Structures are given as structure tokens and as C-alpha cells.
């Protein structure tokens, strides 16, 4: 640990990430491209900051992929996998088969040996789980049809790595040479095939069984020690252990942790596990992307520029074509097909492993393997760029059109209300307005939603509501009210500031998540902010009181009073928070704000009880009087 | 001897029931009394969103309708007015085809903070009797072809002690049972100012 060069390497990697990722995000390029560029920057062909740790950085980084699959597994349930079975086997199988066959064919045709062609075909048929999933997640599209299908195909590829590894040595021109061993030491190599299979099945069985029945008591025990770092250690140990076991029996560690994740998806400690592993995954995945950037051999590329650039273009094009065809055959809409095809049109991280293995096994010449690696790395770099092009230029012009053909009878009719976001909140607003005959124009970024709404006769625009041109298209210049109902608080603020800047006449009604984003909107002069959980929480609390025997009318009034106070405090805090110590961390500030509210409430509550129905003072005056009367 | 059981609907309206003293006692046990449906309007409709069809169905199922409420500003609490406006609609409660309530009996059961002496034609700060002030309810009953009966009144609730209130509860519940068992002489009762004057021993 005290080795200064090692610390220097960590420093270089972290600095590169910290500098380039925010910049890339700011430019709208996404974090993956940021990491890749950081890698290129510190790599041997630019600043040349990295020492001889490049290969180990890649290996450590690959562990991020393993963790990512564990996390993906945690979010899936066995029932969901079962639901995706058609996509996994059908689409995944078809993709792998078709791509491998096509690439093999082309290589054979261009004069490569059959062995080399077949090996390259399978190696290149794989896509990058790390890049595809990360980009889909960042774009919030993992849940869409295109995202789900991408995931299914990637899952199939992860499983397929195992037979491909077994297949590669068979292609060797010089079979049974000494160097032809698996890339990692494998304990069961020497066993006959049937017992290898048995061992593999047993290991998977143990993982499932232990995950199902063994882990809960362990987690409970650890949780009881109340040592947070111990829980972190156990979470890491779990992932590392599975990786080790899977490697020992020659299976893909990613597949193993994925299975473990799925098994643990119903575990009560699932969320703790997720939050423990998440930061490690993020860092390691970043490291992996940087390592890919570093590994791009620009010397090789410049000496064989024509060949490599041409190969990358042809490679991405073939992958895209196959994916596009599959997407259409399986009935995805055009938007999702485009997303799916661009997301998976690159080489995978397993390609690096497989090429080196193939080179060891003498299936590929080392020179050829280097070219292959360069092609894969460049194709990975191309993905974020292609996704960006898709998002900015292709999708807006085809598929679910942003400016959809309006129904013939209301060309040019603009509605006075615009609703941005048709998710959980927006759909309720929309339904209610429609039920009461209020026409509105809708904006959403989910093409499935947009298609559905158009079918139902709504006026819908597809795209990012924070863009002024889209707001103009949806009639913002003549509309009166803009309802912002999107999920993401940052997006809400972005939309609000666009609207403020370009359409100051628009009344803004904004959904917010909590205090922080509400403050920001109020600061912008937007008074109508609606914290999306406030009313539901108050209604739940009210029902608790009513079920405990309080009068429902009194509870309703108490709720109104509480709400009024709360809204009042929110606005008061907006002004106050600027005077506060700017360095108080946000979370701390929230706690402080809550504390202040609780103190104020203690004083205020009871001040405005329903005086109209309070008879205390009357009893004082008339009660006495009437006694004399009687 | 004919024995006819009448169904009674007590429409209770008190916005601050949790603070009331007299009505808490008066109402106690009504929800368990045979032949009586106790309907707590503020509890069921805290937001005043009255379900008209449900209310009309309830009315159709009962023979005697009671408005039980504190006497706020010479009338009932706000929800009672809302109830009248929404439930007693033309064509159902009154008008050419509005016969749903025809022949049903109606009376108020009210509590007043002030003593009976307050509500006099020559009073210090009052110029009308309780019966005069209840005219809008009487007219409502007439409009809906219901038979109006004098009110059950508990005066001076501000100065009642626990024992007084228990006594009033007993009397009130006894009257309800008389109505239920159809042992009220309508002609005799109609001549009285308050239901309270009707002899219970009968």
C-alpha cells in the first residue's frame, strides 16, 4: 500500500475520472464516454501517465462488471427471468448465431483461415454488458422494451461465454500444446467431462441453495453487530467468493454473481446489499472503462489505420444490422429497436479475455489478436457517440415523431394546458383533466407512453420538455399553464428555467420531491410547488387517526391546518436557508430544517383550533347566568 | 290490536362532537338501538361530499326521520344544509313526481346552550320562540309531504351536569322507542310545542 508508484497510479486514475466524467456529462456525452476519453488521455499515446499497471487495472475493472451483474440480478426476480425466457433464448440465440455466422463468412470470404474466422466470429458476436447497461441506465431506458431486450441478449451472451471458452481450444491449429490452458487456473480441468458437468451443476446448486436459505441468518447476525463496515465486508465477500468459486470451476463469474443476485432479490437485506455494492461497482466499472481507453493501441491503429477503421465500421454496421432485424422480427417499435441496436453494436469485455485465450491456444496469431482488441475497444468507444447521434438526430426524425401528425381536426389548435411527463403523477393529472373535459397537450420521453397516448387521441409530443423548441411546438407561446410532472427533480428545474426564460407568461405548476428542489423552484419565483408525497402521507396519517377513533371531520381540519403550516414553513425556509452556514451539508440541513419545524409546531399547534365550535367561553358567561335563572 | 314497527333514521350533525358534552351522552347507545339507524353525517362525510343516492336510499328505508343537531345560529350545522340541498331534489323529494318521502314522519332533536327562557318572543336578546325559529324545517317537511312533529329540545346544555344529561338521554331514547313501536298519538302530539311535553307514561 505504501508503494508510492501504486498510490500515484490511483491518483492518476481518479484524477482522470474526476476531471473528464463531469465534463463529458456536461457536454451531454454520458459518463461512459467520459471514462473512455480519460483512459485515452492518460494512456501511453497521450500523456503517458500510466505505468505497467494497465493490465491489472483492466482485470480489477472487470470485477466491476461482475458486481454490476450482481446488482442487476438483485433487481430481478426469478419470475421476471421466466417472463423474459423467450427474449433471452430467442433474441439472444438468434443474435449470437447470426452475428457469428455473418462475421465468420465475411472473414473466410476475405481470405482468413477457417479457424481464425470462426473464433473471431464468436468473439465479436458478444456485446459489452458494462457499456450497454450503464448507458441504458443513465438514459433511464432500462425498463423500456428496448432496454429489457438488450438485457436479455446480454444475459444470453454471458451464458454463451462458457461453451465458447470450451470451443476455442478445439479450433487450435496445433491442438494439445502446453500453452493451451484456460486463461485462469481451473481446478477441474483434469476431470472427465461428465464429472466436470456435475461439479458445475453442484456449484450453481450450492449458490442457489445458500442464497435462498443460508444468507438470511448470516446477514441478520452481521446486522445485529451494528458495525456497518462489517456488512460492507460481508457483501464484498459474497461477491468475491462467488467469483472465486466460479473461476475455479471455469464458469463466468458474472453469471455466478448474477444468479446469486437473482436468488437474493427476495431477501430482506436486498436494499442494504445494493447500497453496499453500488459504490464499488461504480468505481470499478469506471476503472474498467478507463482501462479500455488506456488499452487502445494508437500505434497499431495509425500503422494500420485503413484496415482497422474500416473493420470497426463494418463490424458495428453488421452488429447493428443483425440487431435491427431481430428487433423488428420480435415486434419492437422503431424507437426501441434503434435503442436496442445501437446499445449492443459493440464488442464486449469478454472479447479481451477470449482473444488472449485464443492467442494462447494458438487459434489466433498474436498480431491478429492485437488488431481484434483494437477493433473491439474502438467499437466500445463508438457506442456512446452512436447513442448520442441516435438520440439527437435519428430518433427525432423517425419512429415516434416528436412532432406527431396531429389529428386532422385539430391542426393548429393549441391547448391552454401543457403537461410535461406522463408517468405516475402526470397520468393522474391527465386522466383527471380529461375526465373533466379540460384539453391539454402532453410531453413525454417514453415512446411507448407516447404511442399509447396518441392512440387514445391525446395530443402528444415526444421528447425532452426542457428544450425550448419542443415547448414551442407544443404551443407554449399561447398556452396558459405548464404542469411539470416529470420524475427527475433536476429535469423539473431544467424545464422550469427554460419555461421561465422563453415563456415568462406561462403559469408553472410543478411537482417536486422534497425541500431542496422546492426551495430552488420557489427561488425562481415559482410558487405552485407540489411535493409529491405530502398529501398522500397526510392522508395516511389522517386515516390512522380516524381508525384510532378520532372524529374524521376534526382530523380533516387538523390535516388542513398542518398542511397550511407546512407550506408556510417551506416558504419561510426558502428565504432562511441562504443566511445559514453555507457549508452545512445538505442532509444535515434537512435534519436541521425538520428540527426547526418540530419546535415551531409545538408552539403553534393549538393556536388556530376551530374557535367557532369552542364553547368554553360561552359556558363561562352563560353557564353561570343560566344557573341563576333556573 | 295492531302492532306496527317503524324504522327511525337519526341524521346526526355535530362538527365538533369530540368537544360536545350533552350530545355525547344523548347519542350514546343509539347505534345499537333496535329499529334505529344512527347516521353520523360529519363522520361519514368530513369533506361534505354527500352521496346523494345512498342518502335517498336510506330515507326510503325509514318511516321516521330525525334531524339531531345542536342549534347553531338558529339552525343546524352547515352539513345539514348541504345535505338538504343535495339530497332533497326536485322530482324525488318534492314536485309533481316527487313522492319519495310522502307520509313519513319528521322531527328535530336539538340542544341549545342557552336556557328555554332565552327563546321568547319578548326575550332580552331573542324575539322568536324555538318553534318559530324551526320554521324552515317545518316548511321543508311540508314541502316534501312529510308529517312534521314538535321538536325534542334539551335547553341550557352549558349548565347541565352529568346526572341531568343522563336523564335527558333516557327521555330521548324513550321517545324514540315510542315512535318505533308506533305508540305515539299523532293528533295529540301535533298540538304540543315540544315533544318533551308528550307524556311518556302512556
Q: Closest chain A residue to B44 measured between Cα atoms?
A: A552
Residue of A nearest to B71 (CA): A613
CA closest to B115 among chain A residues: A626
Residue A405's pLDDT is what?
43
With bands split at pLDDT 50, 70 and 90, how would you rate the model's confidence at A181? very low
**B72 against A52, higher pLDDT:** B72
Query: How large is the average pLDDT for residues A618-624?
Result: 66
More confident residue, A392 or A618: A392
Cα(A132)–Cα(A125) distance, integer angstroms: 14
Q: Which residues of B touch A619 (CB under 8 A)?
A: 113, 158-159
Answer yes or no: are the C-beta atoms of B114 and B156 closer than 8 Å.
yes
What's the pTM? Answer: 0.56
Q: Which is more confident, A586 or A121?
A: A121
Mean pLDDT of A132-157: 84
pLDDT at A178: 41
| B44-60 average pLDDT score | 95
pLDDT digit string (tens) for A407-451?
Answer: 433 434 678 999 999 888 998 999 899 899 898 988 888 777 777
Nearest to B117 among A552, A614, A629 (CB): A629
Q: Which domains does chain B have, with CATH numbers?
A: 8-197 (3.40.50.360)
pLDDT tens string A107-116: 999 888 888 8
Residue B171 CA to residue B22 CA, distance in Å, equals 13
Complex ipTM, two decimals?
A: 0.83
Per-residue pLDDT averaged across B64-86, rounded?
A: 95
Query: What cell does A628 get?
Result: 341563576
User: What is the average pLDDT across A6-11?
Assistant: 81
Indicate if the pLDDT at residue A599 is higher than 70. no
Three-state DSSP at A402 gives coil
Going by pLDDT thresholds of 50, 70 and 90, the confidence category of residue A593 is: low
**Which residues from B are below 8 Å from A615, CB to CB?**
19, 113, 158
Minimum CA–CA partner of A620 in chain B: B158
Q: What is the pLDDT of residue A447?
A: 72
Looking at residue B121, its pLDDT comes to: 79
Specify the pLDDT at position B69.
97
The DSSP annotation for A25-94 comes to: HHTT--HHHHHHHHHHHHSTTTT----TTHHHHHHHHHHHHHHHHHHHHHT--HHHHHHTHHIIIIIHHH
CB contact under 8 A, B158 and A554: no
CB distance A613–B16 less than 8 Å? yes
Q: What is the pLDDT of residue A404?
A: 45
B-contacting residues in A 538-597 (Cβ below 8 Å): 550-556
pLDDT of residue A628 exceeding 60 = no
Which of A251, A136, A115 has the alpha carbon at shortest distance from A183? A251
* Whole-number percent of chain A with pLDDT over 70: 84
Which pLDDT value is given to residue A630? 36
Higher pLDDT, A177 or B49: B49
Report how far residue A320's alpha carbon sits from residue B40's, in angstroms, rounded to the nearest whole number. 68
Sorted by where each starts, the structural domains of chain A and their CATH numbers stand as 4-393 (1.20.1530.20), 402-515+527-532 (3.40.50.720), 534-611 (no CATH)
Residue-wise pLDDT tens digits, A334-346: 888 888 999 999 9
State residue A607's pLDDT score.
53
Question: pLDDT tens digit string along A223-276?
Answer: 777 777 888 888 888 888 888 888 887 777 777 888 888 888 877 777 778 888
Put simply, the answer to whether B16 touches A550 (Cβ < 8 Å) is no
Summary mean pLDDT of chain A:
80
- Residue A483: is its pLDDT beyond 70? yes
Better-predicted residue by pLDDT, B168 or A627: B168
What SS3 string covers A294-358?
Answer: HHCCHHHHHHCHHHHHHHHHHHHHHHHHHHHHHHHHCCCCHHHHHHHHHHHCCCCHHHHHHHHHH
Amino acid at each position: 500500500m505504501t508503494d508510492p508508484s501504486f498510490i500515484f497510479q490511483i491518483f492518476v486514475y481518479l484524477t482522470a475520472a474526476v476531471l473528464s466524467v463531469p465534463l463529458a456529462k456536461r457536454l451531454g456525452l454520458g459518463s461512459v464516454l467520459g471514462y473512455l476519453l480519460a483512459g485515452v488521455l492518460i494512456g501511453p499515446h497521450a500523456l503517458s501517465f500510466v505505468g505497467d499497471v494497465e493490465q491489472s487495472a483492466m482485470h480489477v475493472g472487470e470485477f466491476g462488471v461482475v458486481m454490476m451483474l450482481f446488482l442487476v440480478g438483485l433487481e430481478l426476480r426469478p419470475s421476471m427471468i421466466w417472463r423474459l425466457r423467450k427474449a433471452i433464448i430467442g433474441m439472444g440465440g438468434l443474435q449470437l448465431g447470426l452475428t457469428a455466422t455473418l462475421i465468420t463468412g465475411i472473414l473466410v470470404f476475405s481470405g482468413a483461415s477457417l479457424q481464425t474466422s470462426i473464433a473471431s466470429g464468436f468473439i465479436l458476436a458478444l456485446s459489452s454488458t458494462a457499456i450497454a447497461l450503464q448507458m441504458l441506465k443513465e438514459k433511464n431506458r432500462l425498463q423500456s422494451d428496448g432496454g429489457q431486450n438488450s438485457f436479455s441478449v446480454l444475459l444470453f451472451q454471458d451464458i454463451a461465454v462458457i461453451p465458447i471458452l470450451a470451443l476455442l481450444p478445439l479450433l487450435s491449429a496445433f491442438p494439445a500444446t502446453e500453452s493451451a490452458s484456460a486463461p485462469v487456473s481451473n481446478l477441474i480441468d483434469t476431470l472427465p467431462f461428465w464429472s466436470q458437468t456435475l461439479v458445475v451443476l453442484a456449484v450453481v446448486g450450492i449458490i442457489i441453495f445458500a442464497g435462498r436459505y443460508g444468507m438470511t441468518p448470516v446477514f441478520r447476525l452481521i446486522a445485529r453487530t451494528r458495525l456497518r463496515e462489517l456488512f460492507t465486508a460481508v457483501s464484498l465477500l459474497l461477491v468475491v467468493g462467488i467469483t472465486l468459486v466460479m473461476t475455479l470451476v471455469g464458469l463466468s463469474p458474472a453469471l455466478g454473481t448474477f444468479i446469486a443476485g437473482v436468488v437474493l432479490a427476495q431477501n430482506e437485506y436486498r436494499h442494504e446489499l445494493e447500497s453496499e455494492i453500488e459504490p464499488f461497482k461504480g468505481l470499478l466499472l469506471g476503472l474498467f472503462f478507463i482501462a479500455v481507453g488506456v488499452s487502445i493501441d494508437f500505434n497499431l491503429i495509425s500503422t494500420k489505420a485503413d484496415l482497422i477503421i474500416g473493420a470497426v465500421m463494418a463490424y458495428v454496421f453488421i452488429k447493428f444490422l443483425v440487431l435491427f432485424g431481430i428487433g423488428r422480427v420480435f415486434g419492437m417499435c422503431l424507437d426501441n429497436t434503434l435503442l436496442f441496436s445501437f446499445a449492443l453494436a459493440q464488442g464486449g469485455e469478454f472479447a479481451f479475455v477470449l482473444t488472449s485465450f485464443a492467442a494462447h491456444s494458438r487459434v489466433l496469431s498474436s498480431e491478429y489478436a492485437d488488431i481484434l482488441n483494437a477493433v473491439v475497444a474502438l467499437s466500445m468507444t463508438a457506442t456512446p457517440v452512436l447513442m448520442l447521434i441516435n438520440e439527437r438526430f435519428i430518433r427525432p426524425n423517425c419512429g415516434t415523431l416528436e412532432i406527431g401528425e396531429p389529428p386532422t381536426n385539430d391542426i393548429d389548435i393549441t391547448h391552454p394546458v401543457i403537461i410535461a411527463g406522463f408517468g405516475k403523477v402526470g397520468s393522474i393529472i391527465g386522466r383527471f383533466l380529461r375526465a373533466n373535459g379540460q384539453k391539454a397537450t402532453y410531453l413525454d420521453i417514453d415512446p411507448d407512453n407516447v404511442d399509447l397516448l396518441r392512440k387514445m387521441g391525446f395530443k402528444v409530443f415526444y421528447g425532452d420538455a426542457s428544450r425550448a423548441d419542443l415547448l414551442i411546438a407544443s404551443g407554449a407561446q399561447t398556452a396558459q399553464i405548464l404542469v411539470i410532472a416529470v420524475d427527475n427533480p433536476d429535469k423539473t428545474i431544467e424545464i422550469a428555467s427554460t419555461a421561465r426564460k422563453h415563456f415568462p407568461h406561462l403559469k408553472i405548476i410543478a411537482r417536486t420531491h422534497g425541500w431542496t428542489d422546492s426551495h430552488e423552484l420557489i427561488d425562481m419565483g415559482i410558487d405552485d410547488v407540489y411535493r409529491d408525497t405530502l398529501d398522500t402521507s397526510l392522508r395516511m396519517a389522517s386515516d390512522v387517526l380516524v381508525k384510532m377513533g378520532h372524529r374524521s371531520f376534526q382530523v380533516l381540519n387538523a390535516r388542513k391546518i398542518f398542511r397550511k403550516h407546512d407550506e408556510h414553513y417551506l416558504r419561510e425556509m426558502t428565504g432562511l436557508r441562504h443566511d445559514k452556514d453555507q457549508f452545512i451539508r445538505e442532509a444535515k440541513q434537512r435534519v436541521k430544517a425538520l428540527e426547526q419545524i418540530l419546535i415551531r409546531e409545538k408552539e403553534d399547534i393549538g393556536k388556530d383550533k376551530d374557535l367557532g365550535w369552542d364553547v368554553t367561553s360561552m359556558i363561562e358567561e352563560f353557564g353561570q347566568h343560566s344557573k341563576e335563572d333556573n | 290490536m295492531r302492532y306496527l314497527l317503524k324504522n327511525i333514521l337519526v341524521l346526526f350533525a355535530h362538527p365538533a362532537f369530540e368537544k360536545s358534552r350533552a350530545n355525547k351522552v344523548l347519542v350514546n347507545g343509539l347505534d345499537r338501538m333496535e329499529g334505529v339507524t344512527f347516521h353520523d353525517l360529519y363522520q361519514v362525510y368530513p369533506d361534505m361530499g354527500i352521496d346523494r343516492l345512498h342518502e335517498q336510499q336510506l330515507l326510503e328505508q325509514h318511516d321516521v326521520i330525525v334531524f339531531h343537531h345542536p342549534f347553531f345560529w338558529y339552525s343546524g350545522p352547515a352539513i345539514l344544509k348541504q345535505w338538504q340541498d343535495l339530497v332533497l331534489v326536485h322530482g324525488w323529494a318534492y314536485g309533481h313526481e316527487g313522492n319519495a318521502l310522502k307520509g313519513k314522519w319528521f322531527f328535530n332533536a336539538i340542544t341549545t346552550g342557552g336556557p328555554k327562557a332565552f327563546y321568547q318572543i319578548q326575550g332580552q336578546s331573542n324575539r322568536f320562540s324555538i318553534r318559530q325559529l324551526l320554521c324552515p324545517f317545518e316548511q321543508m317537511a311540508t314541502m316534501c309531504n312529510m308529517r312534521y312533529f314538535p321538536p325534542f329540545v334539551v335547553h341550557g346544555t352549558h349548565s347541565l351536569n352529568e346526572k341531568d344529561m343522563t336523564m335527558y338521554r333516557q327521555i330521548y331514547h324513550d321517545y324514540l322507542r315510542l315512535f318505533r313501536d308506533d305508540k305515539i298519538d299523532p293528533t295529540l302530539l301535533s298540538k304540543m310545542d315540544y315533544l318533551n311535553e308528550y307524556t311518556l307514561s302512556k
